[in-house]
Chains A and B, each alone.
Chain A
Amino acid sequence: GNSVTQMEGPVTLSEEAFLTINCTYTATGYPSLFWYVQYPGEGLQLLLKATKADDKGSNKGFEATYRKETTSFHLEKGSVQVSDSAVYFCALSDLTNAGKSTFGDGTTLTVKP
Chain B
Amino acid sequence: EAGVVQSPRYKIIEKKQPVAFWCNPISGHNTLYWYRQNLGQGPELLIRYENEEAVDDSQLPKDRFSAERLKGVDSTLKIQPAELGDSAVYLCASSLDQLANFNEQFFGPGTRLTVL
Contact = CB atoms under 8 A, between A and B. Distances in A.
Chain A interface mostly: strand
Interface residues of B, number: 26
B55 A98 contact: yes
B105 A46 contact: yes
Residue picked from B4, B48, B102, B109, most chain A C-beta under 10 Å: B102
A99 B109 contact: no
A95 B104 CA distance: 12
A103 B98 contact: no
Interface residues of A, number: 24
A89 B35 CA distance: 14
B41 A44 contact: no
14 contacts: A43-B4, A45-B106, A49-B104, A91-B42, A93-B103, A95-B102, A95-B103, A98-B55, A99-B31, A100-B56, A101-B33, A101-B105, A104-B42, A106-B40
